[in-house]
């Protein structure tokens, strides 16, 4: 029998699993590096593996960046807003764990994929 108490228990469980974006970024809304764009390619550096332990979100980003990945793809993979992904990526770039580069020119199909990923957020 499912009554109102079971529905509220499910809502409480969902609420405890959600982490607000400002908690993930430590209350910061602006990245330490301002030149990050949607199409910025990010890759983990070899030194990232042997360094001090990271927070869970930072660990996931380093793991995802073993192959070159765009900031937009990271935001989608982490399930966070683009601004949060930029702050987290910038932290790792400043810490020397990630390297980023701006592609000279992106093909149209890549831009369309990025647009579709951002819309999915």
35-89: pLDDT as tens digits: 788 888 999 997 655 566 677 788 889 999 999 999 999 999 988 888 888 888 9
Which residues sit opposite 42 in a β-bridge?
Answer: 69, 100
* Amino acid 67: pLDDT: 93
* Amino acid 66: pLDDT: 92
Model pTM score: 0.62
Q: Where are the domains of the chain?
A: 4-120
Read off the pLDDT of each residue in 84-98 and give the average, rounded to a whole number: 87
13-28: pLDDT as tens digits: 444 455 566 556 565 6
In whole angstroms, how far apart are CA 93 and each of 14, 34, 54, 89, 119? 32, 11, 13, 6, 26
Residue 101 has pLDDT above 50, yes or no: yes
* Cβ atoms of residues 120 and 113 within 8 Å: no
| Helix, coil or strand: residue 74 | helix
* Cβ atoms of residues 48 and 97 within 8 Å: yes
């Amino acid at each position: 029998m499912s009554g109102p108490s079971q529905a509220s228990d499910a809502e409480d469980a969902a609420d405890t699993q959600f982490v607000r974006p400002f908690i993930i970024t430590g209350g910061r809304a602006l990245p330490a590096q301002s030149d990050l764009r949607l199409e910025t390619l990010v890759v983990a550096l070899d030194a990232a593996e042997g360094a001090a332990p990271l927070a869970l979100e930072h660990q996931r980003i380093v793991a995802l960046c073993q192959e070159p990945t765009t900031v937009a793809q990271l935001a989608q993979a982490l399930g966070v807003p683009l601004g949060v992904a930029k702050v987290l990526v910038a932290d790792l770039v400043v810490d020397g764990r990630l390297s980023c580069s701006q592609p000279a020119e992106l093909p149209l199909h890549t831009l369309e994929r990025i647009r579709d990923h951002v819309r999915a957020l």
